[in-house]
Structure formats: C-alpha cells, structure tokens
C-alpha cells in the first residue's frame, strides 16, 4: 500500500503548496483507492506541515507550485514529489491510478520544463 497526499483547494489541485491548508490523503492498493480522507495542514509553518505528513505516512505528494525550500524539505522527509500540477482532483486521481504521466496532462501553464528538471533531480 502507498499513501498519496494531494494538496487541494475546493475540487482542484491547490495552486501553491507552500500556503496550502488542505491535503487529500489516499491510501492506494492494487491501483485502486482503499481509503480517502481530507486532513488540515498548517498553512504557515513548513516544519509542522511536513511533520503532519510524516505522521500520516505520506509517501508521495502531488501538488501545484512549490518553492525550492519546500521541495528540499519533502526530499529531507523522504516524500516523493509530483509538482506543478493543476486540474480537477478526480481527473488527476484517475490519471494517476491509470499510470498516465500527470506532468504530460496536468502541468501548470508554463511549467513543463520545470517538471522535467524536478523529475530528473529525483531520479538521480
């Protein structure tokens, strides 16, 4: 099983993770959702935000824009990252479960090159 955290705002991916206060937590097994819940994150305290995600057992974070400082913190906590994603939450989840590349279909406008850089830095 894998736990996915998705930064949300309403029914869409939250535009900026650094100030996001809501996280959709999905427990995934055999390419399907086992459990789903929304958790509140501290929108202003980076350490508290990542401590909460660590306590929740988040393995992967899917989010909108994210600063390098927060990217490094995710890496420090061992949380994989798919960032600079936008769109309807259900569409993103469906694509993720179907193993479609989120960066190809849901990249924030102007961020496709940025996604490639991040993906390359995580594959090293």
Structural domain boundaries in the chain: 2-123
pLDDT at 94: 94
Supply the Cα-derived Rg of the chain in whole angstroms: 13
DSSP H stretches of helix in 1-124:
46-56, 68-76, 89-97, 102-106, 112-123
2-123 under CATH 3.30.420.130, yes or no: yes
pLDDT at 124: 39
**Across the chain, what does the average pLDDT equal?**
88
pLDDT at 31: 87
Write out the two tokens for 36: 């789903």
pLDDT grade for 71, boundaries at 50, 70 and 90: very high
Give percent above pLDDT 90 in the chain.
73
Yes or no: say if 82 and 99 are a contact pair by the CB < 8 Å rule.
no
Per-residue pLDDT at 117 exceeds 80: no
């Amino acid at each position: 099983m894998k736990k996915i955290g998705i930064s949300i705002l309403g029914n869409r991916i939250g535009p900026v993770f650094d100030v996001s206060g809501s996280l959709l937590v999905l427990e995934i097994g055999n390419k399907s959702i086992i459990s789903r819940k929304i958790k509140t994150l501290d929108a202003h305290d980076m350490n508290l935000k990542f401590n909460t995600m660590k306590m929740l057992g988040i393995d992967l974070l899917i989010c909108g824009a994210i600063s390098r400082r927060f990217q490094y913190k995710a890496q420090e906590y061992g949380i994989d990252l798919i960032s600079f994603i936008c769109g309807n939450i259900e569409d993103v989840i469906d694509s993720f479960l179907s193993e479609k590349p989120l960066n190809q279909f849901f990249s924030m406008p102007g961020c496709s090159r940025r996604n490639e850089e991040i993906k390359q830095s995580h594959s090293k």
